[in-house]
Structure 1
């Protein structure tokens, strides 16, 4: 379905609740969630049911955050092959974990506890990225392309420092850091999950009233300002939302570099629209569906003998090379 309109009539008011594709995705996600929770008669054991519900909530939170953040980032950069991870979120996360283990030893994470560690990781990542965003954009007159280049440089710096420190760790310390190199959806802390859900809900509510403005911002800075949109201020606000969503999801389960690229490619292929009132909900639903279905397959079929994160990164990497070869950069 296309949103193209003739010059003689205005674009119809969008109502996402009337879109059949979103309803189909919602029903599919509901079915996949029920299958994930109740597979094997889990309703007979309250303990197993609770574990699966917590894991399902984590999958939904992470999927929604990554899908929405990637669509927003691609809107600002006007580029379909870029994701927020290019700004170095995963590298900063691994650097923080490496420094903590290097300084405090193997007992650092157990002693601190899951919730304080999650809050510390999230706070540091958000503050660091916002400091970079504000400094670069003010000096470069809100040049988003320069911001991306600076993010790539900082990402390389973080990875280099993390790699250097990891070489100084003993095997037991490195094993702890290595466990955080790939996203894992097992053993999520319920308090951390509750905080993550509240943060995401706040940003999603804030974005819900700005779908039309995001459509205009997708036209570019000059065109949006000509149409009366305070582009520079909104750009900083959206970058702050992206930083918060990616930081929360990364601190909760670990880095997922290519999930966003995979999700947005499927979203644009299905929705065939530039309207963020359709793109953002669709990206959230598709991302959640990928994680829930994938985790169900790996837990029930492969008995956790493989890692869902590794497969997602592999498929996303192949998709990135395909889009790059085809020239799909806009």
Structure 2
């Protein structure tokens, strides 16, 4: 057996042990936070059940600048503005410090709706709750499950997830550090966090298309203005339409629930092998639609590229510095990217 296979098996075994421990700890974490419901089954939504966002109900934020970060999705969420609002005059500015200040002195806290909670896209398996996290797999969904209570909400009765459907988990408690930081327990560090100090986010679980047919764009076929020569793109227009519907569903779910801060990702551009250039441009086009004008104040993309396959570079070129509902910029040539993406199912 090659060394690489042994190393891979050892890594999967270590992650499976983390998964088992996370699963065993989740009930006590949930019980210690009676004001939350992390173990409640996720709520299913479909594109057909969600009307387009009503512009009369929009918070009317100015166009949100889009950021692309080389980050774990939860790390990006934790680094966003505080989920607990501190009264004027407070020097607390970071997410963690705000939570600790709230625990020490509840008088400093102003109760906030879900607008103050980050919604994180889980690029899910449509077949298996948590993907392969119990077996030590390591795509984006599994990374979220290793660190949090997310898996407890992904009830098997909700699967398979239909192509234009998703799951919404309101309360997800993060109680481990990232893989890069060794998956340490936040409740067991030198500066141990009490349960009420742990970061809480909401999660939107939507699956990318599993291994769609793709083709390499030639100079002759043109691709309808959807990219440059040599790029990989969806073979069938229906795959692009479906992908964009999935993206609209993510944004409608977030807006309907009242979230104004989002961490999105390279939907389908990992194990599912969707064409990264076309996925990035599809996000750009959907986020440019007038329906989403004024609904969000922060829109970040967490895009890890540990294997150097080019997905971070592509997303930065296509999305960094743009703003929500500023227009999709159809017909622009984003040629010259690498053909495969890294993290994210």
TM-score w.r.t. the length of structure 2 is: 0.28
Query: Could you say which structure has the greater relative contact order, defined with CA pairs below 8 angstroms and 6 or more residues apart?
Result: 1
TM-score w.r.t. the length of structure 1 is: 0.29
Larger proportion of strand: 2
Larger proportion of helix: 1
